[in-house]
Amino acid sequence: MKAGDTFFIADRGVDSHLWVIVSEPENDAERVVLVSMTTYESYKEDVCILDVGDHPRITHKTCIAYNEARMTSLENLIQLRDGARLKLQAPVSEAVLKRIRDGISRSTKIKYKFVELLLDQGVIE
């Protein structure tokens, strides 16, 4: 699994959002940063808005929920995938991944530990 890969949690009762890997797992397999997509509402952070055409699973105006960012290991993701607990989807394009990463720098909702890791990896400025 690599930056830009997307997936759903197989148990939709646990979570129904599309998740995106935004860090570079080959640079740090122990700390893989994920963000989720969610339906845009006016009260949600709007630093990265996506819409139909940005990803095959997007059917309406969507935003990145930086406040829901998570970190896990690549090993954990692979185990979840191989155990059919993740449903892999089409990766985001390089352009969409760049927009998502650019939004990290503008987000006031993402935890600083994620920003710091992504700065260290050189994927955001």
Please write the tens of the pLDDT for every residue from 23-78.
999 999 999 999 999 999 999 999 999 999 999 999 999 999 999 999 999 999 99
For residue 61, give the 3-state DSSP assignment: coil
Q: What are the Cα distances from residue 26, in Å, to 3, 4, 29, 99, 103? A: 9, 13, 6, 21, 22
Q: For the chain, what is the mean pLDDT?
A: 94
Looking at per-residue pLDDT, the higher value among 122 and 100 belongs to: 100
Please, which pLDDT band fits residue 102 given cuts at 50, 70 and 90? very high
Maximum CA pair distance of the chain? Answer: 37
Residue-wise pLDDT for 84-95, tens only, equals 999 999 999 999
Q: Is 107 exposed, middle or buried (0-12, 13-18, 19+ CB in 10 A)?
A: buried
